[in-house]
Amino acid sequence: MGGFLNDLVPKPELEALIEAADRRYLEYGAPDKIHGGSTPATRRLKARAKKAEMELIEMAVRHLGTENCFKILRSIRNDLEGRIAIRTDTLVSRIQVEDGVVRGVETESGEFLPARFVISAPGRIGSDWMREESRRLGLTAIPSPVDIGLRVELPAAVLDAVTSATYESKLIYYSRTFDDKVRTFCMNPYGEVVTEFSGDIVTVNGHSYADKKTENTNFALLVSTTFTEPFDNPIAYGRYISHLANLLGKGVIVQRLGDLLSGRRSTPARIAHSSVHPTLEGATPGDLSFVLPYRYIKDIIEMLEALDQIAPGVNSRHTLLYGVEVKFYSHRIKVNRYMESKVKNLFVVGDGAGVTRGLIQASVSGMLAGGAIGKRLKRKKSQAPLSR
């Protein structure tokens, strides 16, 4: 799940790489427990989803937990200490290329850092920068869909039958009115809704701890849109929607589903007497219909109705909706199976390359690039003349 590496790497090899990446996370402290996969419970859930016109993607999930992420990152950093130089707070402005070969990078302060190999992994937050760099360098890229939607919060008991079987369910639905693809994303049983900062805009996200639990479960409902000519900047469109939400709500907006369906804004009083108590403090009660186009609102309402068939209570008037949630994916840059672009020795990996959309496939893309560079360095060393 979460990427297009299967278009570059044969399935058996990709599966082996995913298992290798998973083992590496275990070595750095990831929890042992696996959720979901192909079990009787998930098969029953899949059959119920079919009856509601949804597709459940069966997959195994290793939930790290927010608090464990810090420990894992610290373990990785400690392992690298003394072996490589790590520079934080150093913005790269340009990738330097000469005669079709990468030469290094230039920082925002004007410093040039020469390099035989460059791996660019800017992540989603650097998608705008990567898009502009790919254009400047003449890299072939195609626009990726933009995912725009809302984060849903409701009592954990409502979704317990789903989350106990899969932990994080991947459900896909095609709306009746517009035939748009709507999907669940980043489901957090007994978790919290949080704000996410992407440059100068504020969006909404969610997370859950391994040990600390709330009374609520949250998840995103995202509508995927692929624009056609002449428009080719889905990132700008997503940012525009986000800015509009920030303009109206001074940040994140929260609204009860019942208020949205009744055509009225939520107020602090209406949120206060809701049976769902928000886990995000500081969200502004408001009206999301002023932010999202009708098409997105309609798609999400239809998806909530479908989800209510497998988990009664999802489509409750007390269900909370937070907006907006936007996933900024970079243009999908054309790379070979080793993640190398048409510029020699320039590798582009992770979500910033537009070829992955999640932790594991992003990790595998880095393994592919690192493995290819390692072989070239080894080959170069073996070809070096003997010293006298």
pLDDT tens-digit map of 33-55: 888 778 888 999 999 999 999 99
Lowest-confidence pick of 66-70, 76-80, 117-121: 66-70
Residue for token digits 């190398």? 340
Q: How confident is the model at residue 4 (pLDDT cuts 50, 70, 90)?
A: confident
> With 0-12 CB in 10 A as exposed, 13-18 as middle and 19+ as buried, what is 79?
exposed
Q: How confident is the model at residue 386 (pLDDT cuts 50, 70, 90)?
A: very low
Q: Report in angstroms the alpha-carbon separations of 273 from 150, 153, 254.
A: 22, 15, 14
**pLDDT of amino acid 156:** 97
Backbone angles phi, psi at 329, to 5 degrees: -100, 140
CB environment 320-331: b (16+ within 10 A), e (fewer): bbbbbbbbbbbb
Cα separation, 110 vs 93, in Å, equals 8
Rounded mean pLDDT, 213-242: 88
Rounded mean pLDDT, 320-330: 87
Average pLDDT value over all residues in the chain: 92
Written as six digits, the tokens of 268 are 């602090």
Q: How confident is the model at residue 211 (pLDDT cuts 50, 70, 90)?
A: confident
Lowest-confidence pick of 230-239, 251-260, 346-355: 230-239
Provide CB contacts within 8 A for 280, sequence distance 6+: 153, 192, 193, 194, 195, 204, 252, 254, 322
**Residue 329: pLDDT above 60?**
yes
Q: Which residue has the higher pLDDT, 182 or 67?
A: 182
**Residue 384: pLDDT above 70?**
no
Provide CB contacts within 8 A for 52, sequence distance 6+: 306, 307, 309, 310
Lowest-confidence pick of 57-61, 90-94, 166-170, 379-383: 379-383
pLDDT tens-digit map of 111-134: 999 999 999 999 888 888 998 999
pTM beyond 0.75: the answer is: yes
**Residue 75: pLDDT above 70?**
yes
Q: Report in angstroms the alpha-carbon separations of 226 from 232, 251, 305, 342, 367.
A: 9, 26, 24, 25, 29
User: Which residue from 158, 242, 254 is spatially nearest to 203, judged by alpha carbons?
Assistant: 242
pLDDT tens-digit map of 228-245: 778 777 778 888 999 999
**High-pLDDT (> 90) share of the chain, %:** 72
Cα separation, 261 vs 259, in Å, equals 5
Domains in the chain, start-ordered, CATH in brackets?
Answer: 1-30+87-144+331-388 (3.50.50.60), 145-327 (no CATH)
pLDDT tens-digit map of 268-311: 999 999 999 999 999 999 999 999 999 999 999 999 999 999 99
Rounded mean pLDDT, 163-181: 93
